[in-house]
Amino acid sequence: MGIGDLTEFRLAGKTLYSLGLIKGTEGNLSTFDGRVLHITRAGACLFELTTDDVVEGTLDEPPPNASSDLRIHLRLYGEPDARAVVHAHPGGSVPEGWMEGQPHGIYVHGGSLEEAVGAAIRSTRTVHAVAFEGDVVRILDQTRLPNEEHYIECRTVDEVAAAIRRLAVRGAPVLGIAAAYAMVLAARGSAAPDRGGVLLDLDAAGRSLVDTRPTAVNIRWAVDRVRARATDAEGAEGVAEAVLGEARIIEREDAQACSTMGRIGRKLIPDGANVLTHCNTGMLCTAGIGTALGVIYSAHLAGKRVHVWVDETRPVWQGARLTTWELERLAVPHTLIADAAAGSLMAAGQVDLIIVGADRIAANGDVANKIGTYPLAVLARHHGIPFYVAAPTSTVDPATLSGASIVVEERDPAEVTRPLGLAVAPGGTPAANPSFDVTPADLVTAIVTERGIVHPPYDVGLREVAGERGTA
């Protein structure tokens, strides 16, 4: 058959089976490296593939005993960056009375089988935090989770900015994606008659978006990136098309980065590990499988039998409300703990490693992340536990030399005195509510990016991986 290693195919098949997306001989898989097509044969059981179950050919001369859906695989390889295709049968996706040759199930593609499986999971088991549909930025209101899946339809930059401010959408990578699509709204909604006027409106929109969350560098990064793309466009309509094209690329790159970080980072997680994480770093805050949670989920899919300790992450409870919601949907074993319990678990030897995300990483490796991250790093150092950060290179900010220069957002004190609307302090009690803290680089064991794992000295390693941000 010509394929030397079935690991990727077998892992993809077992994952689809374990999540109930296939059974029996349902579904099929393929990969294409630009020259050779590998595809599961008709009648193969994806969850117990043998060396005879994956056949080889080319797009022009595909193998004769390939999947009956071969033509769909071949068509999908005409899509940009398609290097793998997954066909699955989630519940309700096969019409009653279906006959061979009729449309059924779902077909998704990606840059690898792992990425395509992630896309299949997202389309069936999870939801998109942000989606651009027509002239609307559709945002899942994360303030209502886990009790209600409610979507906000934003038609103006101001509406997207308001959603960002009140944490309806949050998490560094997806904030960049939301900001990029808000810039599309600005370009399409501009009343300016010419290209120059539209660019000025984009500048104003960009400033309002950056002001919403000053600590999260991804917003400014995305705004600057789509604005730079718009500069090269011709005419007012050309500007809008260019901004939309770049926003789509940013979203696609983030999904790819998450898959790559997961595959790279899972090497750091031992078999049977108890992993502690903070805040929410999964599909709700990215276009893919997540950053830190993506690494954890990738390890879970690889059969590493992980268990996750989930910090509540007060005062907005992103861990309790969001991370547990995601892990439950993905069938990853987990236990919710009070933030204050983390140290005692480490002392008892029940934590093997900590992995968190980041909202901004300074050039020297200092990490700004959700408030409560810094104490975890200090505790990890005391107990000799690895402390890892997982973030795409878009979160690395070479212009910020150290954490001392990072502006820490101060949010409404009512989030502390009345968390989730419940009064826990006497009326009028003064409260401080810094949304982030900064963990010094010397407390960070390693930083996982889509371009590799960076070890100290971070000023050198981060410069290497972030040298050409946004072009991968």
**Following DSSP, what letter does each residue of 151-169 receive, concatenated?**
EEEE-SHHHHHHHHHTTSS
On whether residue 397 sits in a domain, the answer given is: yes
**Per-residue confidence in pLDDT tens, the chain, 472 aa:** 456 678 889 888 888 887 788 888 888 999 999 999 999 998 899 989 998 999 999 999 999 888 778 889 999 999 888 999 999 888 766 666 666 556 678 898 988 888 888 778 767 655 689 999 889 999 999 999 999 999 999 999 999 999 999 999 999 999 999 999 999 999 999 888 888 888 999 999 999 999 999 888 899 999 999 999 998 888 888 888 999 999 999 998 998 899 899 989 999 999 999 999 999 999 999 988 899 999 998 898 778 899 999 999 999 999 999 999 999 888 899 999 999 999 999 999 999 999 999 999 999 999 999 999 999 999 999 999 999 999 999 999 999 999 999 999 999 999 999 999 999 999 999 999 999 999 999 999 999 999 999 999 999 999 999 875 443 3
CATH of the domain at 73: 3.40.225.10
Maximum CA extent, the chain: 75
Based on the fold, state whether residues 113 and 155 are members of the same structural domain: no
Q: Give yes or no: residues 243 and 277 share one domain.
A: no
Specify whether 274 is located in the same domain as 245. no
Q: How many CA atoms lie within 13 A of 247 on its CB side?
A: 29
**203 part of a folded domain:** yes
Residues 152 and 248 in one domain: yes
The tokens for 400 are 């910020």
Q: 211 in a domain, yes or no?
A: yes
* Residue ranges making up the domain that contains 219: 130-257
Same domain, 186 and 266: no
Do 431 and 291 lie in a common domain? yes
**H-run or E-run covering 446:** strand 446-449
Q: CATH number for the domain including 275? A: 3.40.50.10470
Phi-psi region of 101 (alpha: psi -120 to 50; beta: other; left: phi over 0): left
Q: What are the backbone angles phi and psi of residue 135, rounded to the nearest 5°?
A: -115, 30
Q: Examine the domain organization and report whether 293 and 198 are in the same domain.
A: no
Question: Do residues 335 and 352 share a domain?
Answer: yes
Q: Which residues of 303-321 are buried (b: 16+ CB within 10 A; e: fewer)?
A: ebebbbbbbbbbbbbbbbb
Torsion of CA 443, 446, 447, 452, to 10 degrees: 170
Structural domain contains residue 437: yes
Q: How far apart are CA 297 and CA 281, in angstroms?
A: 11
Claim to verify: residue 143 and residue 117 sit in the same structural domain: no
Considering the candidates 359, 366, 397, 437, report the single residue annotated as catalytic: 359
d(Cα 263, Cα 250) in Å, to the nearest integer?
20
Whether residues 367 and 410 fall in one domain: yes
- Tell me if residue 211 is catalytic: no
pTM: 0.81
Instruction: Kindly state whether residue 472 falls inside one of the protein's structural domains.
Output: no
For residue 1, give the DSSP letter: -
Residue 2 inside a domain? The answer is: no
178, 98: one domain:
no
Question: Quick one: tokens of 157?
Answer: 């930059």
- Report how far apart, in Å, the C-alpha atoms of 22 and of each of 11, 29, 55, 131 are: 13, 12, 20, 27
470 part of a folded domain:
no
Tell me the pLDDT of the chain averaged across its residues. 90
Nearest-angstrom CA–CA distance, 419 and 437: 19
Final residue before a domain boundary, out of 257, 276, 302: 257
CATH number at residue 175: 1.20.120.420
Q: CB–CB of 87/120 below 8 Å?
A: no
- Other CB atoms within a 10 A radius of the CB of residue 364 amount to 18
- Domain end, chosen from 227, 257, 287, is at 257
Q: Is the domain of 202 the same as that of 267?
A: no
Number of domains in the chain: 3
Whether 1 is covered by a domain: the verdict is: no
Domain end position, chosen among 125, 155, 188: 125
